[in-house]
Amino acid sequence: MKNTKILATAAVVAIAAGCAHMGGSDDAAATRAKALAMMKASFKEHGQAKLDRLDQDELQKACSEAHGQPLDKDLAERLEKAQLATVKYPADGKLMGDWKAGERLAQTGVGMQYSDDPKAPTGGNCYACHQLTKAELSFGTIGPSLYNFGKVRGFTAEMQKYAYGKVYNPDAFSACSSMPRFGLHGILTEKQMQDVVALLMDPESPVNK
Amino acid sequence: MNRTKPAALGIAVAAALAAFGVLAQKPDDHLSKSTTVQEIEKYRAALGDGNPAELWEARGEDLWKQKRGPRNASLEQCDLGLGPGVVKGAYTVLPRYFADSDKVEDLESRLVTCMVNLQGFTPEQAKKDPFGGPGKKVPMDALVAYITSSSRGMKMNVAGNHPKEQEAYNLGKEIFFFRGGPHDFGCVTCHGSDNHRIRLQDLPNLTKTADAQRAYTSWPAYRVSQGEVRSFQWRLNDCFRQQRFPELEFVSPASIALTMYLAKNSNGGTFDAPSIKR
């Protein structure tokens, strides 16, 4: 009798503890759901920017929930694997384009804002976040310096492939990267990504001078 | 406003830009990077010499006292959070919960509420022209400039204790960390880490007290590149445009919740706006 009572008490305590724990995550999930509903009621479609831009995929959801903190290692690995599977390399295997065109893409950030013409070509805006060449001093620091990218890493086919994949989907290599998934989301075309790879990897590119 | 000020400002800007020109001939490395930052500081200091926002502040004070709208009433009895008609210091306690509207309101939404309740405008009329543009000066910008300028030198002191204020803060925090759209951007992308720049523009880490204080207390601002005083509602609207999101609606619940998160994070900072920015 006494034993069953203790067991019963223990069970109640365990259930209560479980509920309290679940209550915490339920609260967080409820707050997230409420925030999303609030956003959907607070934004309006404008030009090419429709309300479906507020619909998150698995990666965006996980990165938002992390509140800027590093992801759990297993989750990060699972997401990176899923993102890597999205990378489509050029069918003809050609990864390098024209570094001069790449430099122009690196300079312009136009595209996909509701104030942009959806028919105009978009840019990569690399300089907003990265140092790339010696000549351009107006560069941002959200991403690492890419000056001497190819020179330091070697002008190899493997490195070209890495650079292409990184531009196509940076989250394949580092989940919750600040960098857009230029290929997956169709921000840049295949040809444009080849030009960006050339900017990074062509020995003649000012990036490697 | 002294008539020589715009001219002096022009010269100062030209001097600062010339400084950039000199810089552009230097090779960049880690040493000259700090020089870049120093030159940007000089440019900002030069901008501070004269602020055309004074014109908006004066116009806003007139508008506050002027009888307008279907009821031909002024805004002088508007309660901005410190009691009817109290303008001084009001911006430092906003956003806050208001019992009459049963909502958390920031300055702009509170002005809309007062324009409706006191002056008899419809909500649509009161919200119709939220931001000025080329050849279009709007009352909202001027009122915001006047009221915020009346908190200059005072410390930010957003309470956030009412359950609805707490809820707005928590929802604003979620919105801050929300990443989406074709670029996966969120507020956190640019404002979640220390010492980052976009191009040459310093980015405050709005999750840290010191940066949040410095940034929040510098809005609204006269933007030299646009020739307009820009309100905090405008700042948020334009951030989301650059994030490739749809358009954030003026005084929408999300805009107020996000303002609550950012304003409360700046508590203790000394308010110093309208400021002047590039």
* Domains held by chain B: number: 2
Of B26, B180, B198, the CB nearest to A54: B180
The predicted pLDDT at position A86 comes to: 98
Q: Are residues B268 and B199 in the same domain?
A: yes
For residues B195 and A141, the answer to whether their CB atoms sit within 8 Å is yes
Rounded alpha-carbon distances, angstroms, from residue B20 to B4, B12, B41: 25, 13, 12
CA B30/CA A1 separation, integer angstroms: 76
Task: Using alpha carbons only, give the angle A33, A37, A43 rounded to the nearest 5 degrees.
Answer: 140
CATH value at residue A136: 1.10.760.10
Q: Are residues A36 and A72 in the same domain?
A: no
For residues A181 and B184, the answer to whether their CB atoms sit within 8 Å is yes
Query: Considering only residues 65 to 84 of chain A, which have any Cβ-Cβ distance to chain B shorter than 8 Å?
Result: 65-68
- The size of chain A, in residues, is 209
The predicted pLDDT at position B42 comes to: 73
pLDDT over 80 (residue B125): yes
The predicted pLDDT at position B36 comes to: 64
CA A96/CA A163 separation, integer angstroms: 10
pLDDT category of residue B83 using cuts at 50, 70 and 90: very high
Which amino acid, A31?
A: T
Average pLDDT, chain A: 91
The predicted pLDDT at position B5 comes to: 42
Q: Are residues B192 and B242 in the same domain?
A: yes
Q: Are residues A82 and A13 in the same domain?
A: no
Q: From B189, which residue of chain A is nearest by alpha-carbon distance?
A: A178
Where is A194: in which H helix or E strand? helix A190-201
Take residue B230 and report the two structure tokens written for it: 């820009």
Which amino acid, A36?
A: L
Domain range enclosing A14: 1-42
The predicted pLDDT at position B29 comes to: 41
CA B69/CA B62 separation, integer angstroms: 15
Q: Are residues A60 and A144 in the same domain?
A: yes
The predicted pLDDT at position B40 comes to: 65
Q: Are residues B31 and B75 in the same domain?
A: no
The predicted pLDDT at position B30 comes to: 43
Cβ-Cβ pairs closer than 8 A, A with B, add up to: 141
Inter-chain residue contact B252 with A129, CB threshold 8 Å: no
Is B239 marked active-site? Answer: yes
pLDDT tens readout for residues B34-65: 666 676 677 667 666 679 999 999 999 999 99
For residues B207 and B143, the answer to whether their CB atoms sit within 8 Å is no
The predicted pLDDT at position A12 comes to: 45
Rounded alpha-carbon distances, angstroms, from residue A72 to A69, A78, A176: 9, 10, 12
Q: Are residues A63 and A128 in the same domain?
A: yes
State how beta strands B201-203 and B196-198 pair: antiparallel
Rounded alpha-carbon distances, angstroms, from residue A74 to A79, A81, A104: 9, 11, 39
DSSP string of A20-76?
HHHHHHHHHHHHHHHHHHHHHHHEE-BTTB-GGGG---HHHHHHHHTTTSPPPHHHH
Asked if A140 has any chain B CB less than 8 Å from its own CB, the reply is yes
This model of the complex carries an ipTM of 0.89
| Spans of chain A, pLDDT less than 70 | 1-24
Domain range enclosing B87: 53-277
* Domains held by chain A: number: 2
The shortest C-alpha distance from A115 to chain B (Å) reads 8
Sign of torsion over alpha carbons B200, B201, B206, B208: positive
State how beta strands B221-223 and B275-277 pair: parallel
Query: Considering only residues 8 to 47 of chain A, which have any Cβ-Cβ distance to chain B shorter than 8 Å?
Result: 31-32, 34-36, 38-39, 41-46
Choose, from B78, B114, B190, B239, the residue flagged as catalytic: B239
Q: Are residues A38 and A52 in the same domain?
A: no
Q: Are residues A29 and A84 in the same domain?
A: no
For residues B78 and B90, the answer to whether their CB atoms sit within 8 Å is no
Q: Are residues B18 and B84 in the same domain?
A: no
CATH value at residue B68: 1.10.760.10
Q: Which letter does DSSP use for residue A104 in this model?
A: H
The predicted pLDDT at position B44 comes to: 65
Inter-chain residue contact B192 with A32, CB threshold 8 Å: no
CA B191/CA B185 separation, integer angstroms: 11
Q: Are residues A62 and A19 in the same domain?
A: no
Residue B244 gets the label, from left (phi > 0), alpha (psi -120 to 50) or beta, of: left
The predicted pLDDT at position B199 comes to: 97
* Residue carrying structure tokens 């295997």: A93
Share of chain B above pLDDT 90, in %: 81
